[in-house]
A and B are shown apart, each in its own frame.
Chain A
Amino acid sequence: MQLARPIRFYGKKRGDRRTGSNQQGRFWLGLLSAACLLAGIIPLVYILVVFAIPEWRVHHRFVHTKARVLDSRIVEWTNDRFSPEIQLEYHLASRPDDAPLTAWSEYEIIPVHSRGGQHWERAYVEELLSEFPTGSEHDSWYDPRRPERIVLKQAYTWSAWLMLLLPVAFITIGGGGLILVLLTWGKSTERLSAQRPPGMDILQPKSQARGNLLAQFPFVPNPDELGDSPGTLLTHRLPPAKAEWRLFAAAAFCLFWNSLVAFFVTILIQDFREGEPDWWMLAFVIPSLSVGLAALAYVGRLVLIAGGVGPTIVEVSDHPLALGGEYELALSQTGRLHIESLDVRLVCEEVATFQQGTNSRTTVRRVYEQLLISEQSFEIHHGLPFEARARLQVPAAAMHSFQAIHNRVEWKIIVRGAIQRWPDFERGFPLVICPGAATGGNL
């Protein structure tokens, strides 16, 4: 039998997006969370029962006494693993006048609880027992609930306490997932969205700092979050887009990568000097070295742009702007440069973020561009910045600034410069544009 189209097991494709049953998705999320929770609880209980609680009890509940060694032996387990056993004679602290008690001690508390799971090599056990010759007296601690349980060592296994972090992480993820499933089970997407408390709604703008302005325009980004400040040429100075992280990230990568490459290059040089060249390593190092050099060149370029080109200042006569509105824009560029060309543009870009497998990807598409200032071949002298003004006519028939979790419409001023004997630079200045009269809103 020929099927008209193949059976889809996990959902269907609609446009650019895959869709499926929410309920089915939540069921699988619940199942996965439960498995995660279980994967956390089992090792947590094991670590608590075998290591944490017994060791804590030895420190805080066991009673101290002096014990005399009567005998010792080595117990052999499988796979050439051994554990020590020491016969002790001791008095109970609560009954010092009674006849002494005799018991076999397993040296420390862990073997008692791990059912012989803590074993060592024979040489180590022999060395351990040599510290407890027959007739010698030692500090020891016994369990008041079962006085025949006595240990000669009071210590914490710190690796076990650190290992607690792993099951705790599993429990947090699994428990959180299960709570999410329980809270959303049987509820429609619309009901969940409508019931989200205002403070919890991450789609909504965080603050309404400009009085009622942002309350009027939901999902238009808050201009205060851009951090604009009063200007000196015009009313508002636009903050530059945060690009410092790019230099920082590139420098960190460059340092890490080239340190690794330097390590391998050192080994390689040593091998060559000793007359035993490692050709496989050479084949690995050559492309790695190329990547390292490219990273170094990129960082150098960013440093040149950041340090060589002076600050760019963009100011506007009002902010936020409105679609269809007319404003004034001022540009100030400092430095000591010979500019080949300098362009200032108003642009609008769509930014879409989507999951592709386990990666989160972002695609940007420019949908509007307007040239505001264009200057060719001029000098900027030290202490005498280049200044220019332009009329900023925001188009009436366009989309306003928009911000949701995965999708954004961003407006910004872009300053792009080509400098003689220097890398080109581009600086962005985000701004907020609200719906205007032509599209139905009024500032």
Chain B
Amino acid sequence: MIAPAITLTLHESRRVYRPGEKLSGQYYIEAVEGTETVAVEISVLWHTEGKGDEDIAVHFFDRVSQDERAVLDFRQPRVFSTVLPNSPLSYEGVLIKIRWCVRLRVFLSRGKQIVEERSFQLGEVPPARAVLP
């Protein structure tokens, strides 16, 4: 199966955002013959990486799905925007890393999913280094 091409862009190309700032962007999906886009979910979220089990929290979420009343055309760009929260800030720790990203999840027919991400940094916390107690 050929996967449809997904385009996800943030309106401002910078990587660092300050808390309380507006983050916006757009996405569209170029359809490929033989595949049908059933639904699309766009989220602005943070998740942890590192030694501990993963924590995740969604700050912004929007789901658009095909229904019987109208056929949606996902080739048309769709805009999203949200005001970023004050915390948690992006963090590059020793055991814990907090990553912010915009995640686009595309649900195709027959249960297939494609995920596209654009990561960004919230705040400017410098990386941490281990200190011997």
Contacts and interface: CB of A to CB of B under 8 A. Distances in A.
B94 to A, nearest CB: 5
Given A435-B19, A439-B123, A440-B89, A367 B130 contact: yes
Interface SS of chain B: helix, strand, loop or mixed? Answer: loop
A406 B86 contact: no
Range for the number of chain B residues in contact with chain A: 35 or more
Contacts of A217: 86-87
A350 interface: yes
B96 A352 contact: yes
B19 to A, nearest CB: 4
A327 interface: no
Contact of B89 (A17, A369, A439): A439
Given A368-B128, A399-B128, A435-B19, A406 B52 contact: yes
A438 B88 CA distance: 14
A440 B61 contact: no
Given A353-B52, A407-B50, 15 more contacts: A188-B41, A193-B57, A203-B57, A218-B87, A348-B128, A352-B95, A354-B51, A363-B95, A369-B133, A407-B52, A409-B91, A439-B125, A440-B18, A440-B124, A441-B123
A406 B55 contact: yes
Interface in B10-44: 18-20, 41, 43
A366 B132 contact: yes
B97 to A, nearest CB: 9
B126 A397 contact: yes
A404 B86 contact: no
Range for the number of chain A residues in contact with chain B: 35 or more
Contacts of B91: 399, 402, 409
Contacts of B49: 15-17
B128 to A, nearest CB: 4
A218 B95 contact: no
B61 to A, nearest CB: 3
